[in-house]
Amino acid sequence: MYYKRKILTICLLLITFQALLGAKKFNSTPQEVYRVYLEGKSLGVIKSKTSLEKYIDKEQEFLKEKYHVNKIYIPDDLHIQKEVTYNEDISSTKEIYDKIQDKSYFTVKGYAITINPVTDTTSTVDKKTSKKQIIYVLDKKIFTEAVDKTVKSFISDADYKTYSSNKDQVIKDTGKIIEKIYIENSIKMKKQNISVNQKIYLDIDELTKYLLFGTTNAQQQYTVKAGDTISSVAYNNKMSNDEFLLMNSEFKNENSLLYTGQVVNIGILNPQFNVVQEDEQVSLEEQKYSTETRYDNTKNVGYEVVEQAGVNGLNKVTQKIRKINGETTNIVTTHTEQIKPVTNEIVVKGGKKSSYQGYGSVVATRGEWGWPASCSSTTSGFGYRWGALHDGTDIAGCGEGSNIFAAQAGTVVESKKKTGGYAGGYGDNGEYIIIDHHNGYYTLYAHLCPGCRYVNVGDNVSKGQVIGGMGHTGMATGTHLHFGLWSGYPYRGGVALNAMSVY
């Protein structure tokens, strides 16, 4: 009787347990299953991992056609883990597939290319590639050919062919040797599954456009009007002449003619990496003479005679030249051989009028202004580059600490070390000087070497007087002088002018 009651109790317990399980049949045999997790949350279990992968591949014919691939893969955030269960419901492959399709994106095999920013900001131009980014392609050939086309956009055909030929380059008398052509950014390529919600480049030209402009959107167009030139169209649309020629390859140079009604492309370059070209160049460089003015107080104001004619000198100069994305960013002179010495001009002027202040009456006209440096190579002229106005002329090649001269007589109104840009104006000038020429014109001398400001606010200076030393303080790509000519006070209502118009 005791045993019968015990057996009856066990049976009642089993019946109760089965009822608690929802009247399901209890399975005491362990089963191997696969639990599917999406973003860390379980979607359920399935019998076969392989069956789910095959089902996804079968159902996604649209993606196969879109990306021209033979296989579609599970999402990146999907994880399938083997488990052992006793009595859990097993979902069908379709049920799990439907849940995945509603919540995530499938993947394709391809390459992720990481373009890292340039960390050495002293080596880059004002427009720096400062943001890390990842580009996706299915075939690495698309990326390599797009990079090649981008590089060729900034390197002349002749230079590219010369460098690619691997032939020894020799400078016989004058000329240049292309020492290096390379991409300054670190670029890494990794093969991986790519989610189809990412931008995947399938076309070389589309990717090239992105690498040049930072967008694949259509560039704007402009219809040429009477009187337009390449330079005026470029300037009015915040482009440099080189940018215009890059976007309109049918024109050979900036002097090519436009005709009324002609449609040209306009847009702002925004390269996604820096293409660097380093050359050694030997050239004949004219050394500009300076004018020494002497005053004869026995002669009335207005009297002027050239006592000694000025003659430019000639030097044979060897320089290292660095360009980034077609823009010359640094020139270093390594050797100078004098071919013909310079003879300075001496002008005698009358100074008899008692109210004479020594400033003269010079306006911004050609031939009356002194050159502000001891060398004449320019790296970047006045005008737009990459959508921003470069409001001066960069002069380089003279060397760190070389003399900077006042372009005309006047009074020093600023002599500072600038640690931040003017509001809405030129970036970081480093150490700089501004001179008021008392005729409505001002000159700016920026990026001077540390402690190389030899004049102070209130000092009266004469034309050709040494006022500072060339350097690379502030936002500078190398040793150079940023020389600006302004009508009105710089960045305080004044208008920047092209200083080269007065030489």
105, 135, 154 — which closes off a domain?
Answer: 105
In percent, how much of the chain has pLDDT > 70? Answer: 87
Degrees, nearest 5: CA angle 229-234-240: 125
The pLDDT tens digits of the residues spanning 358-391 come to: 444 445 556 678 899 988 888 888 988 777 888 9
The pLDDT tens digits of the residues spanning 259-316 come to: 999 999 988 888 999 999 999 999 998 887 877 778 788 888 778 889 999 899 999 9
pLDDT at 203: 95
User: Residue 177: inside a domain, yes or no?
Assistant: no
Mean pLDDT of 13-28: 48
87, 105, 123 — which closes off a domain?
Answer: 105
Checking if the pLDDT of 426 tops 50, the result is no
Q: What distance in Å separates the CA atoms of residue 125 and residue 116, rounded to the nearest whole number?
A: 16
Identify the residue with better confidence: 12 or 503.
503
Three-state DSSP class for 44?
A: strand
pLDDT at 142: 97
pLDDT at 34: 95
**Which residues, in sequence order, are CB contacts of 160 under 8 Å at separation 6+?**
151, 152, 181
User: Residue 266: inside a domain, yes or no?
Assistant: no
- Rg (C-alpha) for the chain, rounded Å, is 36
In sequence order, what E strands does 419-479 have? Answer: 430-436, 441-453, 460-461, 466-470
Checking if the pLDDT of 28 tops 70, the result is no
Beta bridge partner(s), residue 333: 319
User: Residue 277: inside a domain, yes or no?
Assistant: no
Q: Which of 230, 194, 237 has its CA nearest to residue 387?
A: 237
Degrees, nearest 5: CA angle 217-196-57: 145
157 band by pLDDT with thresholds 50, 70 and 90: confident
User: Residue 271: inside a domain, yes or no?
Assistant: no
Q: Convert 477-490 into a string of H (helix), E (strand) and C (coil).
A: CCCEEEEEEEECCC
74, 105, 136 — which closes off a domain?
Answer: 105
pLDDT at 297: 82
Checking if the pLDDT of 354 tops 90, the result is no
pLDDT at 291: 73
What is the number of domains present in the chain?
Answer: 2
Three-state DSSP class for 319?
A: strand
In percent, how much of the chain has pLDDT > 90? Answer: 57
Strands of the sheet containing 78-85, edge to edge, are 41-46, 31-38, 78-85
pLDDT at 72: 96
434 band by pLDDT with thresholds 50, 70 and 90: very high
Checking if the pLDDT of 355 tops 50, the result is no
User: Residue 503: inside a domain, yes or no?
Assistant: yes
Which CATH number belongs to the domain containing residue 392 in this structure?
2.70.70.10
Q: Residue 79's domain spans which residues?
A: 31-105
User: Residue 139: inside a domain, yes or no?
Assistant: no
User: Residue 179: inside a domain, yes or no?
Assistant: no
User: Residue 448: inside a domain, yes or no?
Assistant: yes
Q: What is the pTM of this model?
A: 0.75
